[in-house]
Amino acid sequence: MSSNQATNISNRNTCLLKQAAKTVWPGLSIYCASKSAVCAITKSMAHELGSKVRVNCVCPTLMETAMTQGSIERLSAVALDRQSVKQLMLPEEAANAVLFLSSSKATMIHGENLNVDYGYLCT
């Protein structure tokens, strides 16, 4: 969404959310690079769209989904070793973060990449 496209948006409660990751996974460098790019785009778009649209990003830890089915055992061993809380995230938990950022309780949050990761990045 460009600044020109955002000119038609007059309601500050409009919210644009993205999903990314800040973790490093061996053998998945292209995937990691693309997710890191989403974090940078979030910051840039927040600056560009300013007071018209809130732009934020949710960065969840590893979740058991269709995409991770083939490698969940290998990846979860790495993730759980690095996390403070030793459990896999449920997709519903990441969705709760999205719901919060979309709500009126988060109108002051803008241009953030919210880590929802059971303490993955603090270890």
- Return the CATH number at 49: 3.40.50.720
Distance between CA atoms of residues 2 and 47, nearest Å: 11
Q: What percent of the chain is predicted at pLDDT more than 90?
A: 28
Report whether pLDDT(56) > 60. yes
Q: Which domain holds residue 106?
A: 3-122
Please say whether the beta carbons of 20 and 39 come within 8 A. yes
Sheet holding 15-19, edge to edge: 15-19, 54-60, 113-116
Please say whether the beta carbons of 12 and 52 come within 8 A. yes
Report whether pLDDT(54) > 60. yes
Residues with active-site annotation: 31
Distance between CA atoms of residues 80 and 58, nearest Å: 19
Q: pTM for this one?
A: 0.76
